Every structure is written in structure tokens, then in C-alpha cells.
Amino acid sequence: MGKLEGKVAIVSGSGRGIGRAVALKLAVEGASVVINDLDVAPAEQTVADIAAGGGKAVACIGSVTAPDFAERFVQTAITHFGGLDIIVNNAGYTWDNVVQKMTDEQWYAMIDVHLTAPFRILRAAADFLRNAAKEESEAGQEKFRKVVNVSSIAGVGGNAGQVNYAAAKAGVIGMTRTLAKEWGRYRVNVNCVAFGLINTRLTSAPADGSATLEIEGRQIKAGVNPELLKQMEALVPLGRGGTPEEAAGAIALLCYPESNYISGELLVCGGGFRV
């Protein structure tokens, strides 16, 4: 049996990249997982891959920024798997510019996806978490549930060209520490992982403008200049960027029973890099 046997998890942005690696990791450990992505194909592929490994998963397609998404996401877990034990707020992307050139659209896009969306998901889960904790307490049981919010070293120390992203990710840390205090009585551990350089499609794509991501009708440039990427890797004590699987490992640590007395913490997963 895995460490998460019988648990139910929802992972936003889990059709690709870090989110997919998280979903696969949790499923291997026995959790039933609700997979989310903007697009049908990657979400269904992750569901199929989990099923092929003997796990359980279902897709919840859509944008985390949609006003009705949070309730639908949470309810999918309850309806299909009978509960909710783990929430991983992972979905997001970057849309960079220096402050004098940044538009209101760029600013609010990052705040919406990285901060407002996790807030809504956690708010939507609050009633279930509170009621479940009450029932378990009355039955003399102590059952821990987990929230892992994804931040970034940009949210810890700032990053040039990312005032929108850095502000949102800093907000995630504040939200994490606040909910750890609010939800401790419900036996919910609320923690945060701040990632450094992780090699995903956002960093590996050509940086000449030829590669773009289509996100909610917007064409967002992807990729990091190869020379800049080398410089970034040189600053990492371990000498390279991390893999999505290594990133998933950091999140999984905070979902295991061994973390039951850890809450309100920020874990930096950056290969030793410090801002």
C-alpha cells in the first residue's frame, strides 16, 4: 500500500509539466486524483496514464480563473471519489514585462491565475473540510488533510521583468500562512512550495518568439534565451535545473502522513539556490 492509499486529491494544471508529475506521483502512492487542464487532450492522457498504472483519476477540464470553476473542481472530487483530502494549487504561467511596459491585462492575468484562483478553490473546499473535521472529531477520530500551494523564488525575492508574477506568488505565501492558522482546528496542514529553475515547456521552448502558448485566447511567448538559461543554471549549487519529477517530490513530501505536524511552512525547491 502507498502512503496515500484511500486519499482523494485535486491538482490544478495537471495535464502537463509539474502538475502532471504531481498527479502521477500521488496516484502511485494510492490517491485518487482529479486532473485539470485547459485542454482536453493532455488531461485525458494523464488520466489514461494513471489508469494504465492501476490508479484512479478523472478529468475536470477548464480554466481555473473561470468564476464557476472552483466549485466544479471540488465537487468533482466529492462526487466521483466520495471526499477530498489533498488540494494542490499548481496551475499557472508567466507573462513578463518590465513595469513601465506592463499592461493592466498582464497584471491581472497573473493575479487571477496565481492568487485569485487558488483562493477560490480553497474557499470552495472550506465547507467540506470543516464538516468532515467536525464529524471525525465527534467520532473520536483525528484525520489530517493537506493543502500545498505552489509559489516561486520570484515570490520570495522578486525577479526583474516579473512584477505581476512575483506579486502574485508572494501573495500565495501570505495566503498559505493565514489558512494554516485558520484551518489548524480542522486538522488541515497548509504549506507552500516555492520552485526555482524547473525545466518545463515554459523554459525549454525556443526564445526567439517562434514558440507561443495559447492561453484563454492570448498568445504568450514561451522559452528562455539559451545563454540566459546557462547563467541561471550556473547559479544553482546543484548545477542544473530541476525536473518536473523532482518538483513533484517536494509537493508529495507535504502530502504524506509524515508531514502531519508541519503547517504554515515555505519549502524552497531550487537545488540550493537562494535569493
Phi–psi pair at 118, nearest 5 degrees: -60, -40
Give CA–CA dist 69/32, Å, rounded.
20
Q: Reply yes or no on whether 165 is catalytic.
A: yes
Instruction: Tell me how far apart the alpha carbons of residues 152 and 159 are, in angstroms, rounded to a whole number.
Output: 10
Catalytic residue among 165, 186, 256, 261: 165
- The residues that are catalytic are 165
